[in-house]
Structure 1
Amino acid sequence: MNLIHVCLNVADADESIEFYEQFGFEESWSFETPDGETENRYVADEDGVELQLSETDGETEFEEGTSWDHLAIGVDDVDAVFADIDHYGVVEEPGDQPAAGARTTFVEDPDGHVVELVQPLD
């Protein structure tokens, strides 16, 4: 068994793609639902991990379940990426998490999805 992709509802796929490109993701493919109501665009990293960005025509209010918390992305330097990226909110400032063996920070993407940036501690 392997993870194929994570699907995120987004108000503006172009804006979300620009956000995830900052982490090395590139747009890979897209499709529209048969009823023409939803465009699904995908971004993938160099290892083939995909995010499905399901555009909601500007809708930003979603009923949130309790099973979704955050998306984790590995980076070489949490502090440098945190300083350089165009994020849309800080959930948690960069800090060491010795129990997890990592330095992390949590930011929001354009639609408020929480993204954790993870750097292994040496």
Structure 2
Amino acid sequence: MGLIHVCLNVTDAEESVQFYTEQLGFEESWSFESGDTINRYVTDDDGVEIQLSDTSGVDEVDAGTAWDHLALSVESVDDAFERIDHFGTVQEPQDQPAAGARTAFIEDPDGHVVELVEPLEE
């Protein structure tokens, strides 16, 4: 497994992208939309990404809700989902065509959400 990205809930994706790129030296890498949510990614020199997730109608992010999830790459989402002794299921394995991946979301012992990610075959 390897770290892919950390997802932060933000109230203004454009402002957040500008902060991470102009102030911290990240580069914007890609984006996709899912329902009412715009997801924009910034990448550091080592390829680790921060996902900036802006949901329409959410005007304030409180402490405790700003951090969304940690994404880890796996060879097989289905195998990892069955093998890992997780502490809750947020989303069972399913394809996410807009993101080009098969994903599942589980909880760690403290309730932090961990996303398991496997690229979809093209």
The TM-score bracket by the shorter chain reads 0.3 to 0.5
TM-score, normalised to structure 1's length? 0.48
Which structure shows the higher strand fraction?
2
